[in-house]
Amino acid sequence: MVSVKIEKIAQDIKTMKIRGAGRIARAAAKAMEIATKESKAKTPDDFSKEMEKVSKLLLKTRPTAVSLPNAIRYVSLGLKQAHGADLWTMKKTLSSRAEEFIKNSKEAVKAIGAIGANRISDGDVILTHCNSQAALSIIKAAFKQGKRIEVITTESRPVWQGRLSARDLLKAGIPTTMIIDSAVRHFIRDVDKVVVGADSIAANGAVVNKIGSSAIALAAWEARVLFIVAAETYKFNPDTLVGKLVKIEERDPKEIINLKSYPKLKVRNPAFDVTPAEYVDFIVTERGIIPPFAAYSLIKDTFEVKPDERIKDHIGDKLKLAV
Ligand code: RI2
């Protein structure tokens, strides 16, 4: 049985009360820690089964941000590490891995800020899209260094995450202008750099991020404006190394329009799109700045990928293709 508390966290992720790839990952790790504490399992075996249920529930919430499965994999590795140990050791290992993930994740966002800020110049006008903690970390770190920067933020419809970014930037004292999503090309010549986050980065360097990111990248490319992606290493998708495709989440049409007034209207509401590596200048990770084409090596160095096992897993997989 999964507890009410865990169900609530899963529901909050699904409804986007908890949102943003990094926050989702930390919430999932926290949920696993809570489930560990709450567990009434009497044997290591029962405990493992309970944790499997929790993982499955969390994995079902949102399909695109790879930070979620990566966080769960990281914490679950505790079960493997403690294999054969007593129940107490197993629980302790799992809890400490969850805490470790959360701590590392927060530190990674800070490190991305410090590293990325080096690429921001005094007087820069920066355009950002949606609400990415990693991207804002760079902008805020540059501002703290005394660089006189200005930010243009999109609205990021239909969920309006641009308002969260605007609030955060203004709180930090950074001059901020909001524009509608479709005004990006109109303003791109006023922009020096685009800085956005990522939900999933494929082995070929393609960046999956909030819907509209790829159109911004195109406009930036046309205007010779740098397109910078800020992403912790757990935003890189190990499954893409063996050909798995990133599923693009399609959300409820209700986010866009009340269908009762338009009974015959078909509405599509993809939450993310794919920016090919060619349009990305570089990716700022907590381990340093990399060109998008280095995603392949980063994934190989970071994750343990056993091609045969994974390929077997994916036979018959009906995931919608994206990358
Ligand atoms: P951080 C968000 O997804 C946005 O696409 C954002 O760019 C990305 O997660 C990364 O955010 P959503 O949850 O992890 O709003 O950098 O759909 O905060």
The residue ranges of every structural domain in the chain are 4-110, 111-301
The protein residue with its alpha carbon nearest to ligand 1, atom 2, reads 20
Per-residue pLDDT of the chain (323 residues; tens, 9 = 90+): 799 999 999 999 999 999 999 999 999 999 999 999 999 999 999 999 999 999 999 999 999 999 999 999 999 998 888 888 999 999 999 999 999 999 999 999 999 999 999 999 999 999 999 999 999 999 999 999 999 999 999 999 999 999 999 999 999 999 999 999 999 999 999 999 999 999 999 999 999 999 999 999 999 999 999 999 999 999 999 999 999 999 999 999 999 999 999 999 999 999 999 999 999 999 999 999 999 999 999 999 998 776 555 444 433 332 222 22
| Topology annotation, domain 4-110 | Four Helix Bundle (Hemerythrin (Met), subunit A) (1.20.120)
Residue of 12, 86, 124, 130 with catalytic role: 130
Q: Does domain 111-301 have CATH number 3.40.50.10470?
A: yes
Q: What gap in Å lies between CA 124 and CA 323, rounded to an integer?
A: 32
181 catalytically annotated: no
pLDDT at 304: 78
Q: What gap in Å lies between CA 246 and CA 322, rounded to an integer?
A: 6
Determine the atom of ligand 1 nearest the C-alpha atom of 210. Answer: 5
pLDDT at 307: 57
Q: What is the full DSSP assignment across 15-39?
A: TTSS-SHHHHHHHHHHHHHHHHHH-
Kind of pairing between the strands at 288-290 and 282-285 = antiparallel
pLDDT at 317: 33
The protein residue with its alpha carbon nearest to ligand 1, atom 11, reads 132
Determine the atom of ligand 1 nearest the C-alpha atom of 16. Answer: 13
The protein residue with its alpha carbon nearest to ligand 1, atom 13, reads 20
Probe ligand 1: pick from 106, 130, 246, max atoms within 8 Å of CB? 130
130 catalytically annotated: yes
pLDDT at 271: 98
Name residue 264's amino acid: K
Rounded to two decimals, the pTM is: 0.94
Tell me the CA end-to-end span of the chain in Å, nearest whole number.
Answer: 36
Question: Which one, of 102, 97, 100, 103, lies nearest residue 82 by Cα?
Answer: 97
Ligand 1 geometric centre to CA of 86 (Å) = 38
Neighbours of 80 (CB within 10 A): 9
